[in-house]
Amino acid sequence: METSTPSYPPTERTQVKRLAKRGVYDKEQVHAILDEGFVCHVGFVLEGQPFVIPTAYARAGEQIYIHGAPASRLMKSKEVDVCLTVTLVDGLVVARSAFHTSINYRSVVVLGKARLVLDIDQKREALRLFTNHVITGRWEQAKQPTDQELKATSVLALPLDEVSAKVRTGPPIDDEEDYALPIWGGVVPVVQTFGEPMPDARVMPGITAPNLG
């Protein structure tokens, strides 16, 4: 039985060149970053004008789905060349010098041609993935989209072909002479957590919030 390639082969466009040791091509790590994030930024060029748009997304195997209104710039073509990025911030790297102050992060860059999803069943599946990416199991709890709502939503599918990740971890790396300075150095963790759910004014009595754990 043929097994999937465990890594994305670097291309001329995805090979990490600056601080190459931080480059990651392992599929498991790339998928973990994509699955943890909620918002991606999609860069594209329309009539000579570059745009970068933040939007929700979801991953299904070796494909990312992006959704939006049919009238949006990104959704106007049946296919569009894009650069999609997802970044997670894990900590503030506080060095003794301003030059070495940094951020611990995990990021993914995906290059490729995103194609409009025309099949209604694939579009419905993409919307299920979006919904459950926000809150696990929410699609099964919520009212399903109507045909009109499906028509009012466009979905792009982007294959995970040209992909790379870049990761920084660990403490600051100061110049040796700077460790003698009376200045604090270290990492301040950045943690994203969910707060207490706040019901809107029309929640029926006895209905509890979804489980976010």
Alpha-carbon distance 136 to 35, whole Å?
12
Does residue 207 belong to any structural domain of this protein? Answer: no
**Residue-number span of the structural domain to which 131 is assigned:** 20-189
Does residue 197 belong to any structural domain of this protein? Answer: no
What local confidence, expressed as pLDDT, does residue 19 receive?
65
Q: Say whether pLDDT at 206 is over 70.
A: yes
Q: What is the pLDDT of residues 5-22, one digit of tens each?
A: 698 888 878 777 676 677
Does residue 59 belong to any structural domain of this protein? Answer: yes
Q: Are strands 102-116 and 154-159 parallel, antiparallel or unpaired?
A: antiparallel
Count the domains in the chain: 1
What local confidence, expressed as pLDDT, does residue 4 receive?
62
Q: What is the pLDDT of residues 158-200, one digit of tens each?
A: 999 999 999 999 999 999 999 999 999 999 999 999 899 999 9
Q: Say whether pLDDT at 97 is over 90.
A: yes
Strand intervals (E) in the chain: 23-24, 39-46, 49-59, 63-68, 79-94, 102-116, 154-159, 162-168, 186-189
Does residue 135 belong to any structural domain of this protein? Answer: yes
Does residue 36 belong to any structural domain of this protein? Answer: yes
DSSP letters of 72-85?
SGGGSSSEEEEEEE
Q: Which amino acid is present at 156? A: L
pTM (two decimals): 0.89
Q: What is the pLDDT of residues 50-71, one digit of tens each?
A: 999 999 999 999 999 998 888 8
We report the CATH number of the domain holding residue 32 as 2.30.110.10
